[in-house]
Amino acid sequence: YDTRPDTVKNHTDYILYETHIKDLTTHPSWNGPEEMRGTFLGLTISNTTYTKDNITVKTGLDHISELGVNAVHLLPVMDSDTTDETRLDDKEYMKQNGYNWGYMTKNFNSLEGAYSTNPFDGGKKVTEFKELVMAFHEKGIRVVLDVVFNHTYEIEGSHFQIMAPDYFYRKNSDGTYSNGSGTGNETASERYMFRKYMIDSILFWAKEYNISGFRFDLMGLHDVETMNQIREAVNEVDPTIILYGEPWKAADTPLPFEIQAVRENMDKMDFIASFNDVSREALKQFSFGDKKWQISDKVKYALTGASYKFNRGSHHHALYHFEPYRLINYVTAHDNSTLRDEYYRLYGVRDDNKLMRLSKQANAMVLTSQGIPFIQGGTEIMLSKKVPDWVKYSSDNRVDLGLSDNSYNLPEEVNQLDYNDKIKYYNVFDYYRQLIAIRRTFDHLRMANSAEIDYRFIVHEQKENYFTYLIKGHKNGPEMIIIHTGGTNTTYNLNKNYYMLADGDKANVYGLKEANGNLVILPHSTVILIEAKGNVLYDPKAKPINYELMYGLNFDREIQDTPKEHNIGQIISLFAIGTGLILIGLGISFYSKRKRKNK
């Protein structure tokens, strides 16, 4: 049980797929057991399919496995103050209130009961979540958790406030509680005991549940030293555990800027990554066809993994990350519009074929950029967050043209994956799947550090509307050429024989066709070419790669240990901090001396 799939050597090997516990198993087309819809156990069920018009597709867990990603990023699974667990059988209540992203954490080391088949049985919650982790590991997929240490669901009723009033929360100079989270409070990671709590909690999840990574909500509200100490602690468990977060805050904080874990301080943190908001919008704008040098420069930041060599001269952005293992490349995440909806709402694209093309192109650039790619779940089947007429929503949900830009508490029907869309947009799904296979097969696309990028990456041409570049192979390995276009076409002349792996519409890790001479690349395209050498397998008719067979772990479910007692609730985990809390009662002098010493 205490193992992780052997899929990651360097952090840039991760391919992250973000989803919510309920999103993959609540739509009727999932076709799994009714009693397991929207639960931890729902995501353990394999061999579920959906058929329409004589076309059958895989659903749920097998859908993610078929896509080929090696890590699933789960939105918060910790106990939160959102869904009333005593009303799970109340259909009317659950229809409007049964879904929430879970960012108002109540008990950081306990699981959310609404995802269990019995929320009143702590042991069952633990066992079922362990079953989920094992099910993903059996498919060769690691599990990453979203953690929300930057604030609590409230102040007065929180365990922290009851135990040591005002110690765990930051205050402004006028004595009011600071609200850098935008939720009414923010925690004080720089204080010794909260720092210790964060470290202990992360280690608990990493050891007890074999979690392979953690995404820190509003990481900018945490201090650099705490993040570095967490990194040191998880290295003792497994150095391939990934840590990343949002390098920003929701509002001002009294935490000094120079120690905030924001993008400007990324170089102070080692092997901690953050979301690349330099390139996020630029990748979508370039793919759409916007022609500006500032957009092109910001796209290059992602393509080159934030390497100093390729980005030091830019007049359009600062250099923050410096290393690919610090860079999370993405175009959408859960907390805004889906990629399809963004092109529909903000760019005015109404043609379905163009929406598909733009979706392919934007994430093709993500998946061919140096760094760590991150995909919002459902993008591969053109997820759209349409809000039905019967749904009650507020201004917070930012509903426009019938689509939600912030669906955090809207019903399952708004957020779930509909596998009718997988049938309708199967060519988009297959394109994503093949691009993922290409990335996993060829190390050209996941170089480990900037030194390797500086040596192997050669920019042939950068224009406002296209990029062409070459990546050298190792020793006698094949070279790779990649061409990205925006809203216009371009040409490229090949001086030797290549296999075309992607052309903007289709992709195949084993090759689409042979290529040589002069190429014409269509608008909104990513073309990937691999040098035709004897050590490159070329077989356009080969079946897609099954990563489950290559990396999946096997477990004997009959001999699993009984869940350990110490994970039954938050109160126990809080007292596990130990006698250190006594120090608070003795005064802040201990903390102050330690802080001066650390400086």
Concatenated DSSP letters for 191-224? Answer: SHHHHHHHHHHHHHHHHHS---EEEETTGGGSBH
Q: Identify whether the C-beta of residue 448 lies closer than 8 Å to the C-beta of residue 324.
A: yes
Q: Which two tokens stand for residue 39?
A: 């639960």
What per-residue confidence (pLDDT) applies to 556?
Answer: 63
Which residues are 243's β-sheet partners? 214
In terms of C-beta density within 10 A (0-12 exposed, 13-18 middle, 19 or more buried), how is residue 435 classed? buried
Q: DSSP character for 455?
A: H
pLDDT band for 581, please (50, 70, 90 cuts). Answer: very low
Q: Give me the sign of the Cα torsion angle 224, 225, 228, 230.
A: negative
Question: Position of tokens 């919002």?
Answer: 376
pLDDT for 313: 85
Task: Please compute the mean of the pLDDT values over residues 108-135 and round it to a whole number.
Answer: 97
Handedness of CA 228, 232, 233, 237 (dihedral sign): positive
Q: Which of 186, 246, 443, 503 is catalytic?
A: 246
Question: Is-catalytic flag, 236?
Answer: no
Lowest mean pLDDT across 91-95, 106-110, 483-487, 572-576: 572-576
User: What's the average model confidence in pLDDT over 13-39?
Assistant: 98
The pLDDT confidence band at residue 478, using thresholds 50, 70 and 90, is: very high
Q: Rounded to whole angstroms, how far apart are CA atoms 471 and 519?
A: 18
H-type alpha helices, 334-425: 339-345, 352-367, 412-415, 419-424
Tell me the pLDDT band of 2, cut-offs 50, 70 and 90: confident
The residue-averaged pLDDT of 382-392 equals: 97
**Catalytic option among 217, 225, 380, 418:** 217
pLDDT at 267 (0 to 100)? 96
Work out the mean pLDDT of the chain and round it to a whole number.
93
Residue with tokens 């192979």: 473
Task: Tell me the pLDDT tens digit for each residue of 218-257.
Answer: 999 999 999 999 999 999 999 999 999 999 999 999 999 9
The C-alpha atoms of residue 536 and residue 499 are separated, in whole angstroms, by 9
Alpha carbons 448 and 457: distance in angstroms, whole number: 13
Phi, psi (rounded to 5 degrees) for 545: -70, 135
In sequence order, the 6+-apart residues with CB closer than 8 A to the CB of 110 are 78, 79, 122, 125, 567, 568, 569, 570, 573
Where would I find the H helices in 425-496? 426-441, 450-456
For the segment 311-330, what is each residue's pLDDT rounded down to a tens digit? 998 889 999 999 999 999 99
The domain segmentation of the chain, as residue ranges, is 458-531
Q: Given this model, what pLDDT does residue 572 score? A: 39
Position 259 scores a pLDDT of: 98
Spacing of C-alpha 521 from chain mean position: 31
DSSP count for the chain of H helices, then E strands: 19, 20
Q: For the residues 194-222, what does the mean pLDDT come to? A: 98
Measure the CA–CA gap between 132 and 114, rounded to whole angstroms: 15
**Closest C-alpha to 101, from 22, 44, 206:** 22
How far apart are alpha carbons 25 and 536 in whole angstroms? 38
**Catalytic residue check, 246:** yes
* Strands 242-245, 273-275: pairing kind: parallel
As a whole number of angstroms, the distance between CA 209 and CA 194 comes to 22
* Alpha-carbon span 553 to 543, nearest angstrom: 22
Which among 523, 461, 462, 464 is positioned nearest to 488, based on CA atoms? 523
Q: List, in sequence order, every beta strand (DSSP E) within 206-269.
A: 213-216, 242-245
* pLDDT above 70 (res 559): no
Question: In terms of Cα–Cα distance, which of 261, 264, 297 is closest to 282?
Answer: 297
d(CA 179, CA 239): 33
Residues 452 and 88: their CA atoms lie apart, in Å, by 52
Pairing of strands 403-404, 399-400: antiparallel
Q: For 237-246, 455-464, 569-578, which range has the lowest pLDDT when averaged over its residues?
A: 569-578
Assign 390 a pLDDT band (cuts: 50, 70, 90).
very high
Element (H, E) at 57: strand 55-58
**Dihedral sign, Cα of residue 305, residue 308, residue 314, residue 317:** positive
Is the torsion defined by CA of 507, 508, 509, 510 positive or negative?
Answer: negative
Beta bridge partners of 107: 79
The pLDDT confidence band at residue 599, using thresholds 50, 70 and 90, is: very low
Q: pLDDT value at position 591?
A: 36
Domain 458-531 has CATH 3.80.10.10: no
User: 64-119: per-residue pLDDT in tens?
Assistant: 999 999 999 999 999 998 999 999 999 999 999 999 999 999 999 999 999 999 99
